[in-house]
Amino acid sequence: LISSTGLVHEALKLPNAENLPKAEFNDMPITVGFGTDLIHTAQDGSLTCDDKITQAVDAGYRLIDTATKYESEADVGRALKDAMSRGMKREDFYVVTKVWVNDMGYSSAIESVEKSLRRLQLDYVDLVLIHWPGPAPGKPEAQQFGWENKAKRTLTWRALEEMVRRGKVKSIGVANWTIRHLKETLSIAEISPTVNQVEMHPYYTRDRLLDFSNNHGIKLMGYSPFGRGRLNIINDPVMGEIGEKYGKSGAQVILKWMVQRGVVPLPRASSENRIKQNYDIFDFDLTPEEVKTIDALNGDKRSCSIDCHSIP
């Protein structure tokens, strides 16, 4: 293009799905992860979060998901320290944590990761995510204009990239990002996101997001795989029929469906029996027809009260 001054300018190239970068390094295993949100230590000491994590480790879990917001990082650190004292190695585990909305920004995000490392008693974290693309609309701290959120997302991403360069973090990603948010981050990333953690279950299959992510080297982690109990998914007749065939529960069928889609499910459980049951899904496979049958249950029903699409 030739301007009025006679200077030649190249046409502005806007990012699109075809020319966005793709993550070159993504070592997150596709397995069942152990979610630590809402698992808190009881005041009388009868239930401790680190005890539940230890039970999960003993049941076979190696991917542990925590976050600053969950207030479970110290529990994860104690449980991992106990596991390593019993002969396991740091590299046996894949540890995920997150930067909370209030810590978004460059220096604040770096400080957040440093604090997480201290609470976890680790030299590095396998994966750090930005927990949300911004405050939810209606919250006191919600940004009125989209550019404010975008600026904070960019600064936070630059901070996470810096932590990768320092060797404190192996991979970086996001949580609750829509395709719109992912395109934005991919367009400015020097280190591409490897993971997006979102709500996913048979009533909210996120097909478009999964396809976009697969095309850009981004793996999905799915929280609330049972719809937080509000949607009664595990008792859906489809789950019961398939489960009866394999001698599995409705919950196990859902977790297997997610793994076969290439998604890491993050079930929560407080009972030792349920912790073991949720991991016991690797001795059977759903047929392609069964996967499609579960896919067809989608109704775009969220169990989370916050719609990430509403965050500018």
As annotated, the active-site residues are 70
DSSP 231: S
User: Cα(61)–Cα(30) distance, rounded to whole angstroms?
Assistant: 12
- CA gap 37, 67 in Å, rounded: 8
Q: Which of 84, 111, 89 has its CA nearest to residue 99?
A: 111
Distance CA 73, CA 78 (A): 9
CB–CB of 113/66 below 8 Å?
Answer: no
Closest CA to 226 of 167, 151, 303: 303
Q: Which amino acid, residue 202?
A: P
Query: Of 198, 35, 224, which Cα lies nearest the Cα of 129?
Result: 198
Comparing CA positions, the residue from 219, 302, 243 lying closest to residue 31 is 219
The Cα–Cα gap between 112 and 103 comes to 7
Q: Which of 149, 252, 171, 253 is nearest to 218 (CA)?
A: 171
Measured CA to CA, the distance from residue 4 to residue 169 in angstroms comes to 48
- Nearest residue to 235 via CA among 283, 269, 201: 201
The three-state secondary structure class of 208 is helix
